[in-house]
Structure 1
Amino acid sequence: MAKANSSDFHVLMFSWFAIGHMTPFLHLANKLAEKGHRITFVLPRKAVSQLEHLNLYPDFISFHPVTVPSVTGLPPGAETASDIPIFLSHFLSIAMDRTRDQVENVISSVKPNLVLYDTAHWIPEIAKPLGIKTVCYNVVCAAAIAIVLVPARNATRERPITAAELAVPPPGYPSSSVVLRSHEGQSLLFVTNPFGEGLTFYERITKAMKNCDAISMRTCHEIEAKLCDYIGSQYEKPVLLTGPVLPEESKSVLDERWGRWLAGFEPGSVVYCAFGSQFIFEKPQFQELLLGFELTGLPFFVALKPPLEAATIEEALPEGFEERVKGRGVVWGGWVQQPLVLAHPSVGCFVSHCGFGSMWESLMSDCQIVLFPQLGDQILNTRLMADELKVAVEVKREENGWLSKENLREAIKSVMDKDSEVGKLAKENHKKWRDTINPEFTNDYIDKFIQRMHELVE
């Protein structure tokens, strides 16, 4: 592996302008830099300050900021997906495409051996004439790609694909458990939405994967082998897996305010809830969620953005709620150190939307896992966790898709009650996977990825 440790090998990274994409790219950059590789990370100017603290090897990883141009429909100053509601992503995609000249100048200047990208489907058009290989690196689960973003789905048609059609797996799809239910195809209809000038989301992503030299995914064979093989056969490309690419253990400590509050409860008794940096509830559903935590009788720490109809968390709380849960419940509208909260001995359950990053964080924690997904890939992550690996439970929805306080309470109690068979099984399965995904396991994946990366450019 001496060759893989050479600082002569230079990788350029350019991901979708979302913190949830740039962060796993940077985690991979850290793993490559640890082995002696040089990385040029191209990203929006504003994102540099947001990610700098995660750059563990500044001597090997160079941030190269690009200026995000103004686009009609995009709020002034918006540079990442965190700056906008999700329905404006189309305009951010246009802005990203208009950085092409800047990205081309960087690639031409640094002449990397390899470029890793995801949604910028035009990267191969720049790299190929320069003799540079490209890898389309996907930071979502393989299931999300396999069920929607494959040629067999053939979403390019005269009429838009329907929700019912999206709920049916494409020909050859290899899983019977990581699937959508009949009413859930609606959650994937975003693939037919515009995502850049003259492109739908489906067209953009499938083009990105068709034009690259290899496809890579942030997953492992042990969890998604059949799905990865299916994607490789669909695109007739080699598939390089990086494993989960978990961040290094944080050397920081949990904010004293939360550490002190959590320390007031018994080990494994607190329920922690978060739904990512982008998702925002409507006020009635936000209140129903909080009432569900109240019903459990357990201590809870909820970290959510204020709902759509409220400027602050305080004005959105159910009537009398704050007084009733005083001393055992906290609802916070700001950022929290999620990995450190999950690692706190008092926290025993994690309720989340099952975004791919949160999925891995939950899998590596000691907490019981309760899932209430919102979008298509989160639904498939949830099925992977609850139905395939059986390490979590999914909150049952009402017929209209609504989360009821009673169903949330039942899901939490099913894993938190000591005598629950469901909870015992989830805990047992969870421990097996947590023990499997150890540092040796993850390092082995990185070493194999590096080897295949080098073979690709030889």
Structure 2
Amino acid sequence: MGEENLAKDFDVLHVAMFPFFAFGHISPFVQLSNKLSSHGVNISFFSAIGYVNRVKSMLNPTPTTQVIPLTIPPVEGLPPGLETTAELSPAQSELLKVAVDLMQPQIKILLSQLKPHFVLFDFAQEWLPPLASELGIKTVFYSVFAALSNSYLTVPARLPEPKTSPTIEDLRKPPPGFPKTSSITSMKTFEARDFLYMFKSFHGGASVYDRVLTCLTGCDVILAKTCNQMEGQYVEYVKKQFKKPVLLVGPVVPEPRSEPLEEKWAKWLGQFPAQSVIYCSLGSETILTAEQMKELLLGLDITGLPFFAVLKFPANVDVAAELKRALPEGFMERVKEKAAIHTGWVQQQQILAHQSVGCFLSHVGFSSVIEAIVNDCQVVMLPTKGDQWLNSKLVSGDLKAGVEVNRRDEDGYFGKDDIKNAVERVMVDVDKEPAKSIRNNKKKWKEFLQNNEIQKRFIDELVRELKAMTDLHTT
């Protein structure tokens, strides 16, 4: 569909989507786009030019949805053609933010042509609110993180004195005014140390904290990928901190995939009893050290259960040699009847929905959490960075629907027994505590997330609220 057709349809809500170029951000924007387009909203989705086809394949094919290709400006040190963080080193990912900052003229031209009612944007585009305001377009900061994450890390109360840097000890504690009913009273030392990244400046640019705070204070509306049932206390805290509308889209449960699971994996999983397989995937950007990989795989092995582990390795390495170096001699041969170890992309939704999968050991990205809860697999959490530490606390502490792998306070070390013990807490003696309570809670949240009427109501209400902020009819 051409831009001019969308722009001329004045009676229909038109929303532009502008996620950061990381699949952990693109996916939630796609999922929300699909929900909104099914409610009659026109969508213009901004994508790096090299990923247009992939984004198109993820979006529902409707005549009211279009993908707008963006050219990423050249930045010294950023390899041309690599356009998402999944392909980049951490240092290069910081340069990708520099490139996004250079996109302002391009975005201004596109928005002036498209004339959407709203542009939903991400944390790296803190310059967007004043730019869009000049064009008469309202801005919605769409947080793809749990409200808990924003509440704990990116509120004004976290740094009451601007231009200061928090200490590890500061970050172990919640900010002033944080909900007292939260299950979080303190974080571990290694988790707080990792949070320091949020407050660092790279290449002379703003820190993540500064970017997010500028987004939250500058936008017209905050939109959170959550609901009051799961995170009401944190939503209220965010409202008090920013004193502006906070709309909720709900957890955005992904639609079941229509394409079948690849035959080779369907056949492999099909040889095991129902709910017996551990599926382990730590996301597209988690690269474990050789020591961590060894302890994880040995831990999965000593549970006695079959397991399917998806691992990520640095580009241009010999995966077989890396595994051989990390694991005890003969390990791969010994587990070949009960284990699959894979690198690269897999159909995660279809795997989690397979009847043989009974446990999902995940990095606790918020989308993965929702995917885990809506399926018949128990949730074991091994967070590795950033908001994942807080997602894990939310699921294990507030929702009481999963188990976190125990780790050493100072450096986050975990051993094979920590992996085994976490899995056994939900997979062994399922009719006894604590497995019984955790399973019952997870079942309760699964029923809530799978209630189509409730989930549809979240989107209905969001569309109604957005229309009320424009001159469109709300009927």
TM range (shorter): over 0.9
**2:176 paired with 1:176:** no
CA deviation string 1:267-294 (max 9, x = no partner): 0110100000011001111111111111
Structure 2 CA distance for partners of 1:6 and 1:103, relative to 1, 3 Å = closer
Matches within 5 A, 1:412-423: 412-419=423-430, 420-423=432-435
Q: Which letter does structure 1 place at the counterpart of 2:461?
A: K
1:333 aligns with 2:331: no
Opposite residue 109 of structure 1, the aligned amino acid is Q
What whole-Å deviation, never above 9, does each CA across 1:372-416 have from its counterpart, x for those lacking one?
111131111001100111110111113431110011111111111
Corresponding letter in the other structure for 1:352 = S
**Which of 443, 449, 460 matches 1:447?**
460
1:433 maps to what in 2? Answer: 445
> Residue by residue, what CA displacement relative to the aligned partner does 1:25-49 show, whole Å, maximum 9, x if unpaired?
1111111111111111112111212
Structure 1, 356-365 or 308-317: larger mean CA deviation: 308-317
| Aligned equivalent of 1:284, options 291, 313, 327 | 291
**1:214-225 counterparts in 2 under 5 A?**
214-225=221-232
Amino acid at match of 2:138: K
Q: TM-score, normalised by structure 2?
A: 0.92
Q: Select 2:80's aligned residue among 44, 69, 76.
A: 76
Aligned pair count reads 454
Question: 2:88 and 2:160 mapped to 1: Cα distance?
Answer: 27
Q: Does 1:60 align with 2:71?
A: no
- CA deviations 1:226-278 (Å, max 9, x no partner) are 10111111111100000011222111000100000000001011010000001
Given the alignment of the two structures, is residue 410 of structure 1 paired with residue 450 of structure 2, yes or no? Answer: no
Give the aligned partner of residue 372 of structure 1: 382
TM-score normalised by the chain length of structure 1: 0.95
Alignment of structure 1 residues 226-237 onto 2, 5 Å = 226-237=233-244
The 1:314/1:220 distance shift into structure 2, 3 A limit, reads: farther
Letter in 1 for 2:304: G
What is the CA-CA distance between 1:13 and the residue it aligns to? Answer: 1.1
Give the 3-state SS of the residue equivalent to 1:26 in structure 2. helix
C-alpha distance in 2 between matches for 1:273 and 1:7: 47
Tell me if structure 1 keeps the 8 A contact 2:182–2:398.
Answer: no
When structure 1 is superposed on structure 2, of 318-327 and 180-189 the one drifting more is 180-189
Alignment correspondent of 2:110: 106
Q: What is the alpha-carbon root mean square deviation over aligned residues?
A: 1.8
92-101 vs 69-78, greater mean Cα deviation:
69-78
Note the alpha carbon deviations across 1:354-384, whole angstroms, 9 max, x for none. Answer: 0111111111111011111111311110011
CA distance in 1, matches of 2:284, 2:47: 19
Equivalent residues in 2 for 1:32-431, closer than 5 Å = 32-119=36-123, 120-154=125-159, 157-174=162-179, 175-178=181-184, 180-183=186-189, 184-194=191-201, 197-306=204-313, 310-313=317-320, 315-317=322-324, 318=327, 319-399=329-409, 400-419=411-430, 420-431=432-443
Greater shift in the superposed pair: 334-343 or 42-51: 42-51
1:380 partner SS:
helix
Contact kept? 1:33, 1:57, Cα under 8 Å: no
- Counterpart in the other structure of 2:5: none
Identity %, equivalent residues: 39
Q: 1:10/1:222 Cα in 2 relative to 1: closer, same or farther (>3 Å)? A: same
Unaligned runs of 5+ in 2: 1-8
Contact residue 47 and residue 55 of structure 2 kept, 8 A: no
Amino acid corresponding to residue 337 of structure 1 in structure 2: Q
| AA of the residue aligned to 2:137 | I
Structure 1's unaligned 5+ residue stretches are: none
Q: Which has the larger displacement, 171-180 or 295-304?
A: 171-180
Q: Is the 8 A contact 1:218 1:245 kept in 2?
A: yes
**Counterpart for residue 6 of structure 2:** none
CA 1:304–1:168: 2 relative to 1, 3 Å: same
The one-letter code matched in structure 2 to 1:444 is R
8 Å CA contact 1:282–1:308 kept in 2: the answer is: no
